[in-house]
Every structure is written in structure tokens, then in C-alpha cells.
């Protein structure tokens, strides 16, 4: 149980376009979802925390207008990278929590902005 999926797993886009990444909890209701960013050979940096039906809480330094997060249901959260630039290229990982101690992580999405 506790499976989290992400889609797409890999995306390449042109500079200036927007990209949407989906995160789904497949077998449990995720009251909270988290979005992380990971640079090569680096650790995970929390970008934002979202609770179903409410606005996401962004970490310091993360632009909320650039990284739009929607958590419309207990099984789906989306991250939209708006007007993407090459510096937004990264590995984006979501995780979901059903209220317990653990976060269950998705497989990640590799974004490459040309």
C-alpha cells in the first residue's frame, strides 16, 4: 500500500512554456502533499506543503507565482512550473501523507528546460 505516482516521469520543454506535474496517491487519501526539488547529487529541498482544499504554504525563497500548486482532491496535487527557464531544470519529487508519521514519495519528475 501507500503508493504515490507522478506524471510525467520526464519532460523536456522550451523556455517560456509552462509544465504541469501531477502527483497522485493511489491507495490512500493524502491530507497533505509536499513538493520537493532536488539538484544533481544534492538533497531534497522542500518547496511547499499543500493541504487538500486550501492554499499551499511555500518555503522561503520559493516563488508562489512561478510554482503553482493545486491540491484539489485527497488523491491529487499538481505543480505547474510557469514560464519555465533553464534554471528551473531539476528533479521534482512529491510526497503524500495520510496524517501519520511517514511521507510516501513519488518516483520523481525530471524537468529539462531548453
Partner 1 sequence: SQQGEEDPQALSIQEGENATMNCSYKTSINNLQWYRQNSGRGLVHLILIRSNEREKHSGRLRVTLDTSKKSSSLLITASRAADTASYFCATDASGYGQNFVFGPGTRLSVLP
Nearer to partner 1, 10 or 85 (CB): 10
Least CB distance to partner 1 at residue 108 (A): 5
Strand order through the sheet with 19-25: 4-7, 19-25, 76-81, 67-73
Query: Which cell goes with 44?
Result: 531534497
Nearer to partner 1, 84 or 94 (CB): 94
Nearer to partner 1, 32 or 75 (CB): 32
Cα–Cα dist 31/80, whole Å: 20
Least CB distance to partner 1 at residue 44 (A): 5
3-state secondary structure of 26: coil
Contact predicate 1/102, CB 8 Å:
no
Query: Which cell goes with 54?
Result: 486550501
Least CB distance to partner 1 at residue 4 (A): 8
Binding interface with partner 1 (CB under 8 A): 4, 6, 32, 34, 41-46, 49, 91, 93, 95, 97, 99-108, 110
Amino acid at each position: 500500500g501507500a503508493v504515490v505516482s507522478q506524471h510525467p516521469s520526464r519532460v523536456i520543454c522550451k523556455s517560456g512554456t509552462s509544465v504541469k506535474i501531477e502527483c497522485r496517491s493511489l491507495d490512500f487519501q493524502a491530507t497533505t502533499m509536499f513538493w520537493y526539488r532536488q539538484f544533481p547529487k544534492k538533497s531534497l529541498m522542500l518547496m511547499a506543503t499543500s493541504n487538500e482544499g486550501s492554499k499551499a504554504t511555500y518555503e522561503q525563497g520559493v516563488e508562489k507565482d512561478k510554482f503553482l500548486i493545486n491540491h484539489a482532491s485527497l488523491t491529487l496535487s499538481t505543480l505547474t512550473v510557469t514560464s519555465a527557464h533553464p534554471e528551473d531544470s531539476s528533479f521534482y519529487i512529491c510526497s503524500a501523507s495520510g496524517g501519520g508519521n511517514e511521507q510516501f514519495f513519488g518516483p520523481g519528475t525530471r524537468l529539462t528546460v531548453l
